[in-house]
């Protein structure tokens, strides 16, 4: 059993990671972090995001593993497969609040994870 979280270095990604750390603590489970970088991430940016994830989790004492998504791979599919493989209890995702035009939207990755997840999904909201 594990808590699976997708991490990207944005407000939503950080909200998801913080929530996932709390959930892993509450449940006494390890954390599987899948780092991705959005559509056009450079290898350096992915490496930085992995380092940010590690240094965010380290002080919590939670056991974890940080992996990165191969470039071009589908985030929703990778999270769902990781959750299935790990027999995860929970997937944690961040929810974007507003599009660049100010419209409230639920991203298509979030929708697909919510629908295709084998387990419960926690949608974390960034602090306003």
Residues 66-85 that bind its own copies (CB under 8 A): none
Residue selected from 26, 42, 58, 63 as contacting its own copies according to rule CB under 8 A: 26
Residue selected from 19, 47, 52, 67 as contacting its own copies according to rule CB under 8 A: 19
The CA distances from residue 38 to 62, 82, 90, 109, 119, in Å, are 26, 18, 22, 11, 24
Span interacting with its own copies, options 35-43, 51-59, 61-69, 120-128, rule CB under 8 A: 120-128
Q: Which lies closer to its own copies via its Cβ, residue 52 or residue 116?
A: 116
């Amino acid at each position: 059993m594990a808590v699976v979280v997708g991490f990207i270095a944005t407000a939503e990604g950080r909200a998801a990671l913080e929530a996932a750390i709390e959930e892993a603590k509450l449940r006494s489970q390890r954390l599987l972090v899948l780092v991705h970088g959005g559509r056009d991430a450079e290898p350096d940016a992915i490496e930085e995001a992995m380092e940010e994830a590690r240094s965010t989790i380290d002080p919590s004492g939670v056991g974890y593993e940080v992996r990165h998504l191969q470039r071009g791979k589908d985030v929703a599919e990778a999270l769902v497969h990781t959750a299935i493989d790990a027999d995860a209890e929970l997937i944690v995702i961040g929810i974007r609040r507003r599009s660049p035009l100010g419209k409230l939207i639920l991203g298509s990755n979030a929708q697909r994870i919510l629908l295709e997840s084998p387990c419960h999904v926690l949608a974390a909201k960034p602090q306003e």
